[in-house]
């Protein structure tokens, strides 16, 4: 690329990658680019409720678009694959191997005595990995700097690692375990994610509009 101006020209080397397949017209879901996939949680492919356990949109909540809140009777701990609602996101990845899913949530506390605050993450038919957002013995008082930072940032950040055997189409699933979790953003690092305060802008998404269904 040549940049001209002020009486001179400068040549800048730029790497461009334009695969023949898939195309923007045929691909479904969020597409990996620059080593990551960034997702606003309300842009799910499927939102599968399980009875009274469900994910609900909280408009205007969070730092970029909105939040998806895990809701259930307060005494419920849901089990992924049994009675846990799931948010599902179709993806197309050019990368295989280990990936890291960063989940940005709203700040919350262990508000149910004797209980962690948890959710779970999985790809495809992988066994869901339980992520502990707040352990049951967590104490926010007495100058807890981690809690102060999450309140100041209006965000709590946790990660999980997963191994994908192949590139191509995948489905990311975010499962409710405990109520009170509000997901603000999901970022899949396939090897190129760079540090930022808000996370990268949302990735390109192709295909049909989201479908909402209720699990039997």
Domain boundaries, the chain: 26-215
Q: Which fold has domain 26-215?
A: Jelly Rolls (2.60.120)
User: What is the structure's pLDDT at 17?
Assistant: 81
Q: Is the dihedral of CA 195, 127, 208, 32 positive or negative?
A: positive
Question: Which H helix or E strand runs over 101?
Answer: strand 97-105
Q: How far apart are CA 45 and CA 42, in angstroms?
A: 9
User: What is the structure's pLDDT at 112?
Assistant: 87
Long-range contacts of 49-57 (CB under 8 A, 24+ apart): 49/85, 49/213, 49/214, 49/215, 50/78, 50/83, 50/84, 50/85, 50/215, 51/83, 51/215, 52/76, 53/78, 53/83, 53/84, 53/85, 53/176, 54/85, 54/176, 55/85, 55/86, 55/87, 55/174, 55/176
**Residue 13 CB partners (closer than 8 Å, separation 6+):** 1
pTM higher than 0.75: yes
Q: How far apart are CA 96 and CA 6, in angstroms?
A: 45
Of residues 132 and 214, more confidence is placed in 132
What are residue 115's phi and psi, to 5 degrees?
A: -125, 140
Q: How far apart are CA 111 and CA 134, in angstroms?
A: 10
Structure tokens at 156: 């709590």
Q: What is the pLDDT of residues 174-215, one digit of tens each?
A: 999 999 999 999 999 999 999 999 999 999 999 855 445 544
Residue pair 158/182 in contact by the 8 Å Cβ criterion: no
β-strands 29-31, 86-93 pairing: parallel
Structure tokens at 17: 């990658």
Res. 216 pLDDT band, cuts 50 70 90: very low
User: What is the structure's pLDDT at 208?
Assistant: 57
The residue behind tokens 């606003």 is 40
């Amino acid at each position: 690329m040549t940049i001209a101006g002020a009486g001179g020209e400068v040549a800048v080397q730029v790497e461009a990658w334009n695969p023949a397949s898939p195309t923007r017209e045929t691909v479904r879901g969020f597409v990996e680019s620059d080593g990551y996939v960034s997702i606003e949680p309300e842009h799910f492919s499927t939102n599968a409720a399980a009875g009274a356990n469900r994910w609900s949109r909280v408009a205007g909540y969070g730092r970029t678009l909105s939040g998806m809140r895990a809701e259930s009777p307060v005494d419920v701990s849901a089990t992924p694959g049994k009675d846990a609602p799931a948010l599902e996101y179709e993806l197309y990845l050019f990368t295989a191997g280990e990936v890291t899913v960063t989940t940005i949530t709203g700040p919350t506390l262990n508000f149910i005595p004797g209980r962690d605050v948890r959710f779970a993450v999985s790809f495809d038919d992988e066994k869901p990995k339980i992520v502990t957002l707040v352990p049951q013995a967590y104490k926010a008082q007495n100058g807890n700097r981690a809690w102060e930072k999450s309140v100041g940032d209006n965000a709590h950040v946790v990660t999980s690692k997963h191994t994908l055997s192949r590139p191509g189409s995948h489905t990311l699933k975010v499962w409710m375990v405990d109520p009170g979790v509000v997901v603000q953003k999901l970022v899949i690092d396939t090897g190129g994610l760079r540090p930022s305060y808000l996370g990268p802008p949302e990735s390109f998404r192709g295909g049909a509009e989201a479908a909402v269904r209720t699990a039997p």
